[in-house]
Amino acid sequence: MRRALRAAFEHQQGFTVCGEAENGFDAINKANRLAPDLIILDLRMPEMDGLEAARQLKALMPEVPLLMLTCYYSTAAEREALASGVTAVFSKPDGMQNLIWQARAVLSSKSS
């Protein structure tokens, strides 16, 4: 999934992928080091899930938008993700175009 995400964003004008992480701990460490403009998390990650990573990232970098991907979308999971500081939640089966569109919208509104 990480490779597919990376490829999808690298082929879009206006995006530069600065890193990718294997788990929640890695995501936090790399985000601290790389200072991204946007972070995309998976709900289910080894060692630290996306919700806990989102809470910690939001505390460290409150201005950075967080987008969450999940295979198993539910309203309850979305509510929990939003409460954790996530900007928007996406279902993997919905495809990358919706995620890319939302990423553009979030970054555009952030720079306005």
Taken as a whole, the chain contains a residue count of 112
Tens digit of each residue's pLDDT (9 = 90 or more) over 44-99: 888 899 999 999 999 999 999 999 998 887 899 899 999 999 999 988 888 888 89
Closest CA to 42 of 79, 72, 83, 75: 72
The conformation of residue 90, written as its DSSP 8-state character, comes to E
Amino acid making up residue 99:
L
Options 3.40.50.720, 3.40.50.2300, 3.40.50.300, 3.10.20.90; which CATH number does 2-107 get?
A: 3.40.50.2300
Asked if residue 100 lies in contact with residue 14, where contact means CB atoms within 8 angstroms, the answer is no
Tens digit of each residue's pLDDT (9 = 90 or more) over 28-47: 999 999 999 999 999 988 88
Domain ranges for the chain:
2-107
The kind and range of the H/E element at 27 are helix 24-34
Looking at residue 46, its pLDDT comes to: 86
Looking at residue 93, its pLDDT comes to: 81
Phi, psi (degrees; rounded to nearest 5) at 35: 50, 60
